Amino acid sequence: MYPAEFDYHAPTALADALHLLQGHDGTVKVLAGGQSLLPLMKLRLADASTLVDIGRIAELRGIREDGDAVVIGATTTYRDILDSAVVGRRVPLLVDTVRQIGDMQVRSRGTIGGSLAHADPGGDLPATILAVDAQMTAAGSGGTRTIAARDFFTGMLTTSLNEGEVLTSVRLPALDQARTGSAYLKHRHPASGYAVVGVAAIVRLAADGTCQEARVGVTGAGSQAMRAGGVESALQGKALDDATLADAASHAAEGLDLLSDPYASAEFRGHLAQVLTRRALAAAVARARGGPGA
């Protein structure tokens, strides 16, 4: 199918893009990499009278270090992230995640900001963004503001971005501290490649080998990605043996509005969340101890 007719603008400055977005209703949409919006428009599942293509705005693309964090522009592609030595060294969890997104073509066109703003419940990035405690910067007519990852995802295909706002960058705290390991694992849908369930885990060990901190993000299982607070609490201060990891992982589906479809029932998704959480935690612990993938 072909999308309905629409007007197209490709500004080269953020101020011009924001001007185009002001005073319009939801029929004006932002186009980033196009990997989510364009297929929906072709199927007539999404409609737009005007597209504002932000892909030519240079200030929205790029990767830089900023103290103890890495800042990534919203239109930075997955390929850019995979090619970045800075991201690989300082936020290996993001590389681990992006490697599992789509295929070569998708990774060459898809953008980090486009994916996060779309907030697909089966998207991979939200789990990792939540686990690292990232911060998003958005720009609108009233200026810029920072949104914590915990507050960014508000429902299925819904974020806390306001009408007329554009996600401009993502700030990810670095994970290259001593005794810190991370991992992202997912059960991939055989047709779409989206996460039926995906789990991002970060573990930081104390000097005595017990858990100083654990952060776990779960995507795909519910209507929106969420932090697995019950898992994190169950690990705090504990010796990280197999039994402890299994017990903590049993809390992985708590608080999730579990989805159900012909491929995976809510019960199956809940089970997958527990299994993948245990495995992701085990991999993160091994890396924190200096094992494979550290």
Mean pLDDT, rounded, for 196-204: 98
pLDDT value of residue 26? 61
Looking up residue 269, the CATH number of its domain turns out to be: 3.30.390.50
User: Do 122 and 162 share a domain, yes or no?
Assistant: yes
198's enclosing H/E stretch is strand 195-205
One-letter amino acid for residue 246 of the chain: A
The residue among 118, 141, 173 that closes a domain is 173
Q: With H, G, I as helix, E, B as strand and everything else as coil, classify residue 218.
A: strand
User: Do 137 and 95 share a domain, yes or no?
Assistant: yes
pLDDT value of residue 34? 73
Mean pLDDT, rounded, for 269-292: 94
| Cα–Cα dist 272/281, whole Å | 14
User: Do 69 and 49 share a domain, yes or no?
Assistant: no
Is the pLDDT at 293 greater than 60? The verdict is no
Residue 14's pLDDT band (cuts 50, 70, 90): very high
**In a 10 Å sphere around its CB, with 0-12 CB exposed, 13-18 middle and 19+ buried, how is residue 92 labelled?**
buried
Structure tokens given for 107: 């990774």
Q: Which residues of 143-179 are buried (b: 16+ CB within 10 A; e: fewer)?
A: eeeebebeebbeeebebebeebbbbbbbbbbbbeeee
Q: Render 137-185 in DSSP notation, one character per residue.
A: EEEETTEEEEEEHHHHEEETTEESPPTT-EEEEEEEE---STTEEEEEE
Q: What is the pLDDT of residues 107-149, one digit of tens each?
A: 999 999 999 999 999 999 999 999 999 999 999 999 999 999 9
Q: What is the pLDDT of residues 152-169, one digit of tens each?
A: 999 999 999 999 999 999
If we measure between CA atoms, which residue out of 33, 183, 198, 192 comes closest to residue 107? 33
In a domain, 248, yes or no: yes
Residue 190's pLDDT band (cuts 50, 70, 90): very high
pTM of the model: 0.94
Mean pLDDT, rounded, for 249-265: 97
User: Which residue shows structure tokens 């992202």?
Assistant: 184
Mean pLDDT, rounded, for 234-258: 98
User: Do 261 and 280 share a domain, yes or no?
Assistant: yes
pLDDT value of residue 29? 83
Looking up residue 123, the CATH number of its domain turns out to be: 3.30.465.10
The percentage of residues in the chain with a pLDDT greater than 90, rounded to a whole number, is 86
| Cα–Cα dist 80/30, whole Å | 21
Q: What is the pLDDT of residues 240-250, one digit of tens each?
A: 999 999 999 99
| Order of all β-strands in the sheet with 50-53 | 7-9, 50-53, 28-31
One-letter amino acid for residue 4 of the chain: A
| Cα–Cα dist 135/15, whole Å | 22
Q: What is the pLDDT of residues 40-78, one digit of tens each?
A: 777 665 777 888 999 999 999 999 999 999 999 999 999
The residue among 147, 173, 199 that closes a domain is 173
Mean pLDDT, rounded, for 4-12: 89
